[in-house]
Structure formats: structure tokens, C-alpha cells
Amino acid sequence: MIAQKKRMILLLIFGLAIWLKTYIVYKSSFDLPMENLLQEIILILNPISSILLLIAVSTMFKGKLQKYGLLIIDLVATIILYANVVYYRFFSDFITIPVLFQTNNMGDLGGSIFELIQWQDIFLFIDIPILAYLVSTKFTNKLIVRKKETMLIFASALVMFAINIGLAEMERPQLLTRTFDREMLVKNIGTFNYHIYDSVMQTKTRAKRAFADSSEITEVENYIRGNNVPVNPNFTAKAKGKNVFVISLESTQNFVINNKVDGKEITPFLNDLIDQKGTYYFNNFYHQTGQGKTSDSEFIVDNSMYGLPSGAAFFTHAQNEYNATPEIIKEKGGYSSYVFHANNKSFWNRDIMYQTLGYDKYYSLKYFTTNKENSIGWGLKDDQFYAQSMKYLTTLPEPFYAKFITLTNHFPFTLKQEDEMIPEWTSDDGTVNRYFTTVRYEDEALKKFFNMLKEKGMYKDSMFIIYGDHYGISENHNEAMGKYLGKEVTPMVSAQLQKVPFIVHIPGDEGNKTIDTVSGQVDVQPTLLNLLGIKSNNLQFGNDMFSKQKKDFAVFRDGSVITDQYIYTEDKCYQSKDGTEAPKEKCAPYVEKGKNDLMYSDKIIYGDLLRFYNN
């Protein structure tokens, strides 16, 4: 009887500790808005089933080790919870299984991780030494949980999970089919159950390739062909035979364009470029990345397909068959293709994926000279990156396709004082304050690069595609962003802040236009191929952005949709013009198209269906 009471006390301490720290994290570290009492009840209840499951697992340890099972499980659970806290602080998202296995990226994160760690985080681990003390004392001698008790705990876990799911389905029907909405999953089934669910889904995706067959590609092809629109013939071959520079601006959002901070221009070079002849600026262009961030943007731009709902295709599906831009322009335009990026070649698995996509060479970190003087944050400073790239550029056979991936404007947006061209802003948010400074530096470095190309005679016979890869300021900084913008950052405003710059510059062309058609990164490949006069029968989810028949449409990886009339995000529909809420049925057709786009794109990638496609 005494032993049974001791067991109950120990298990209760463990359960309460995990439940309390999980609920505190929900409230203090994750942005999980509660719209009604039922949602709050679900949030309180959802850790219980996973806690009971963890207790049951801990009792499966043999003999005397059983009492240490709780301690081990507590430590592992706390690490998983804390990893989500740190990850969420920057990405406003939750870790998935593919991300957990991308450990080769972790060594390069450096100061970014330390910037996200806070001193009060230690309180998440405070129960571990208490539990360690209890299991090491006579209090827990001969504490063995019997098999019957283990089975009872398992059964209790299943009952609690069933209750949890029942309530969640009342609040959010078809919850478990909306796999792209991780926030909704965590809010309704809890962090630990979400990870179990994610593991099951990852196992299912692995099976999809094994069982895929050639008949599935026909359905996808019919869908894509039914949504394609004709290209704009006035822009066909406008840049035929020219060298192509594709420049990815790290973490650059569109709100900085033609804007100022404390009276100083943030992007004077890009502002001037937009006004020049030969420049076409798309001011309603959106990034569509998921957890793969920069690698997702590369994947989308090169393939006209969407990134995955979890993890990064660069990492999880690098051995697939793709019809990427480098392969197409090599076969049909005689182009050689190169990537310049002063980072470790294995980061995001780029050394493998670039070969799959058809790039001829990757100028990674080993091709650049780095030291303390010329590096900051994530590595080589942008002006040095461009300067050191010139010796390789001048040797490339023409015509070439060269992609440049910049680094300096990367979180946590640090910069040496001598490189600051505008002072930091003066809000209470250091991240937002520094962001303007590093964007200004990025802009100046790009100006220097253009001047270097002009000096080497490489400018006139080239076309430049300049775009932002993904957001830089996450939703965790909405208060400071609201102060800068002079308005509250509502969910609709947050969706609009996912705009990134997209600029096409063709020296020698007489045109100049700002185009306000809603478009996204998935539209880059068909636009680029038409400008080069290259026709391809490959499967593209995007359309030529210059086409007069292009629909105003962009879908985000989380299912949010942007059109010229409506914005759908966080399960609400808004009028684009004034931000007022509209009936959901107004957004329904666009939401349906977005879901189908994402579904068919995922189907191609998970099933590796392009191996069956002959274009």
C-alpha cells in the first residue's frame, strides 16, 4: 500500500511537471490565439494523453531501471519542447521530423541560435533535478509498476486522446486532414501528439514513392494543363541569348522598397533600378516558402513547384527526378549553370541537390577567402562575396545562368559599425532595428556588384532577376512592425507582409513598368523561360507573370491565399482593399484552387512522379 502511494506521488509529480511546463510554453512562447472557451479547454486538456503515454513508456524499463525511466522521458520531453520554443522564436512554426534530421545544418546556425536563447529558459528544466533527487533516494526503492498498471495507463492515454480528438473535431472539423496547418494541430492535439502525428505522416509519405505508378502523373498533368495560361508574346525572347543573373536577396521583404527609416532611404539602389529603362517591377509578388526557407525559394523558382508541408525537398527528396530550369535551358538554349554561395556546400544538402537540378558547378565556401575582417553573422559579407565571385564569373562560357545567394541580411541582422550606412532604428525591438541597417548594406553591395559587371563589360549582354527569398521579420515582431508601418499588424496585414521584391532588369530594353498582378515564386520559371524564348513542355504550377491572362493568385504553404480581391488566412476571408472581413464563400474558390495546387505538387514530389513523365 505504501509502495503504491509512492508510485502515485512520483507519477503525479512527473505528470504535473510536464503538463505545467507545456501549458506555460503554450501561453508564453507560442502564439496560439483562443477564440472561445472550448479552445481554451482543449488547450488545457491536450497535453494529458501524451503525458499518460510518456508515463506508460517509462514503466516499460526493466527492473531497477524503471524508476529512472521517468527521468529519462522527462529529459527527452523537455528537450523536444524547448527545441520547439527556440525554433518558434524565429520561424513562428513548429519542428517537423525532417527538420530534426537536418542536423548537418545546425553547425552553421551559430549566433542565430544564441540570439534566440533567453536566460529564463532555464526554468523549463527546473523539475529535472528535483525528479533526479527523488529517484536517487530511498523514497523510490522498489518502485516497480506492474504490467496491469502499465496497460491501464495506456488505456487511459487512449481514452484521453479520444476525448481530445472529439472536442477538437467539434471545434475544427477535418482537423487531421489539414496537415499543412501545424499551428492548428498543436493547438488542438498538443505538441507531443503533433510530433507523433508528424512521424506517422512522414512514414506515409515514404510509402507513397514505393507504391506510385505512371498512371498518377496523367491526373496531375491534366490539372496543370487546365490551369496554364498563354505567355505574353510581346515578351517572348526579349532576353534571348543573354547571360542570366538570378540574385536571391536574403530575408528581404517588399515593404523596404521605396521606403525610408528616420528619413533615410532603405534601398536607394533598388529604388533607382526600378525607375530605369529595361526594368519591370512586380509589387505584388509573394514568397511561398515553408520550413525549407531559402532552399524552398530555390526549389520553387527552379521547378515551378511548391516546397513541402514539412521539412525541405532539398533534404528529403534530393534524389528525385525534376525538370529544373538549369536542365531545360542547357538542353534548349545551350546554357551552362552555376551557383555562387559562400556557405558550406552541404548546408541544406545543396551539394547533392544542385547536381540533381542540373547545375554545372557550385561555388561554395571553399572557393572564397574568409576571415574575421571580411565576415559577419552567417559568413562572408555581401560586398566581398560579389567581389571574390568576379574572378570566376569572367571565366564562364557564355551564355550562362548564374545564381547568387546572399548572406549578410540574415537573422540576427548584425553588422560591423564601419559597414553601417544608416543607423539602427529606435524601437524596443533590436531585431527590427538592425534589419533596416543590414538591408541598406545589402542594397549598397548589390550596387557595387552592378558596377563591377559594367567595368568588366558583362552588364549589357545580361538579364537580371532579383528577388527576396522569404520573410526577414517574423510575426513575433508584430508590435515593432506595427509601430513602423503605423498600423496594427492583423492576420491580413501579416499575410501582405509576405510580399518580397521581384525585379526583372534587361539592359538595352526600352520598357519600364510596375506590374501589380498578384504572383509568387512558383511563377518565376515560366516567366524566365519565355523571356529567353525557350519553350518547354514541363509541368509548371506557375504562369508567365507578364501574361495578360495571368490570374491574380498566390497560395502560401500554410494554405493562405492572396488575390486582387480577397485574402484568406487563419481560416478567415478578408477584402483586399480595406481589410474588412468577408463571408468565407467569397474566398472558397481560391482556397480550393490553392489546396489543389499544393496537393498535386506534393503528389509529384512524394511519389517522384516526374520519373514517369516524358516532356
Residues carrying an active site annotation = 294
Locate cell 565556401: which residue? 365
Q: What is the DSSP letter of 214?
A: T
Give the list of residues 6+ apart from residue 203 with CB closer than 8 angstroms, or none.
none
How many C-beta neighbours within 10 Å does residue 470 have? 22
What's the CA gap between 470 and 287, in Å, rounded? 5
**Short-list 14, 125, 20, CA closest to 71:** 14
> How would you class 241 by CB atoms within 10 Å of its CB: exposed for 0-12, middle for 13-18, buried for 19 or more?
middle
DSSP state letters, 295-358: HHHHHHHHHSS---SSS-HHHHSTTS----HHHHHHHHH--EEEEE--S-TTGGGHHHHHHHHT
Which is it for the CA torsion 145, 146, 148, 154, positive or negative? positive
Give the list of residues 6+ apart from residue 87 with CB closer than 8 angstroms, or none.
93, 94, 95, 99
What's the CA gap between 536 and 511, in Å, rounded? 26
What's the CA gap between 32 and 34, in Å, rounded? 6
- Would strands 400-405 and 336-340 be described as parallel, antiparallel, or unpaired? parallel
**Short-list 337, 314, 362, 269, CA closest to 532:** 337
Reading the block at residue 367, the C-alpha cell is 572557393
